[in-house]
Structure 1
């Protein structure tokens, strides 16, 4: 990218004056699929409002909901930087100007793909503004670049489900190969975000570079079992497959009350429970909304007793991904 011209013809007469886009939060790893599995949820998510202007270039006009933590510099903000990169590759960066309002509806550093939701919203917005010249598959590498800019590692387990919707498998990165998986109808996520700080870079640094072969075999079996369970809508198979023996034991140390939250979730009927992305958000995977509602309420009550504030979200799997808002 940035050195390769994208062979797409843009009809300037059909470029929109403005567009507003929502992109969803995501649960990366899906407990046992570190860096290769993820799914989108209905809420929370981020919004981008994009406006065509006369002066060429890409500018951030405003950012809401970030408590002043995100840069307004268009070269440093992942949303504007990726939009700029796409316009350069399209060969129209000197011919079109856009200004961006970023509205953060989700917390930064939550483990719910905050940066990926913003990046996906921005790229989906510029594509819509230009008349949708690129497919989602063609937008994907730019989304991955946004993750590299945000956290130093260009992984796709957040941006893939945020962009494609549903549950996605990253089969490989060279070349990038994203596969959409079936979504059982009653699969729900009960998410709790404890108000503690677990930076993505710090959480990733804790991960061991080498693992025992016996643990790797267990993890491979769990991933294969989970995917099989999704295809068959076999909730029992999904439940016994969603166990992480590689990453969770290390990252759980950073999340206060993790194992007590897990005990509560499993006792209340969760199919599985684990860390969303790098944390500190945790997720209970359930069959049905009512169980997810009950689990998140009880976990919040437990955290409150331990003087830990939290947010909760309950959602089915979002199969649509980003959307243009009217």
Structure 2
């Protein structure tokens, strides 16, 4: 095999109580990439559609991630990468991580899979650092592994995949405004109150327990964020109103997707998810800001060949 076409799914990171450690993978929303094995050594990005991104390998998320796996594998060949962006940059649903994950997955496939999917997460994180200024895996982990993921630790990297309860649906409202990850990180406080930390630890433990036990009520009770959301929500017009509309329509919980501006809700069953999507979109019409709506099951496979 000398060429591969890849679907690189969107993701929701943080899930309220799991800042930088929790994420989930979405179905049907994602980028496409084509990667070719060539004789000349090195990594070259030959084409980008759907976004104004640099073709220079060392300035592109996919290029930096590709270099990480290339330098580790030391193959006697090179790779050309085409990127067809369908996830808008700065949307809060893992645009940069889709590029990074797709690059390392595709190269690994063309090399005969010398690395496991868990090992690919570490390479993809190198690319994420270009977009956000730090290596973090809350988006690239679910994009590569599928399902829900927990990043237990970074030194060494320790990622656990959690299969999604069958009835979980995600609703995402994506306003057509840009919130850069670096900007949304800049407003966070490096110091938090102990009582808030205790609350957040309890919610994170409850969310993981709820996912494993398929206890939807526990999942809903745990989707609370007392540390990050109060600071970041000011960057998203009508955030409180949209969140409340989702909860009133039956969502288990709602919050900021990644760094924003997208707002997500988790729901039990497709019927409730569609009702929640209608409530969220009806509310956001008042802002006059264009937006997209997505209703998706949790994608348990992650990045894949197409």
Cα-Cα RMSD: 1.1
2:9 equivalent in structure 1 = 24
Given that 1:270 and 1:286 are in contact with CA atoms closer than 8 Å, whether structure 2 keeps it comes out as yes
The CA deviation at 1:146 is 1.1
Matched, 1:259 2:244: no
- 1:303 paired with 2:288, answer no
Q: Superposition pairs for residues 44-193 of structure 1, below 5 Å?
A: 44-66=29-51, 68=52, 70-92=53-75, 95-193=76-174
TM-fit CA distance, 1:45: 1.1
Q: Would the aligned equivalents of 2:129 and 2:135 in 1 still touch at CA under 8 Å?
A: yes
Length-normalised TM-score, structure 2: 0.97
Q: 1:224 is matched with which residue?
A: 205
Separation of aligned partners in 1, 2:194 and 2:58: 43
SS in 2 for 1:197: coil
Structure-1 separation of matches of 2:11 and 2:120: 18
Stretches of structure 1 that go unaligned for 5 or more consecutive residues are 1-15
C-alpha contact (below 8 Å) 1:113/1:277 kept by paired residues: yes
Distance in 2 (alpha carbons) for counterparts of 1:82 and 1:239 = 35
User: 1:188, 1:317 within 8 Å by CA — same for their partners in 2?
Assistant: yes
Give the Å deviation of 1:182.
Answer: 3.3
The answer on whether the counterparts of 2:63 and 2:127 sit within 8 Å (CA) in structure 1 is: no
2: CA distance, partners of 1:144 / 1:191: 24
The equivalent residue for 2:250 is 269
Q: Distance in 2 between matches of 1:157 and 1:278?
A: 11
TM-score by length of 1: 0.91
**Given the alignment of the two structures, is residue 316 of structure 1 paired with residue 297 of structure 2, yes or no?**
yes
Name structure 2 gaps, 5 residues minimum: none
Match of 1:34 in 2: 19
What is the Cα deviation at residue 301 of structure 1? Answer: 2.5
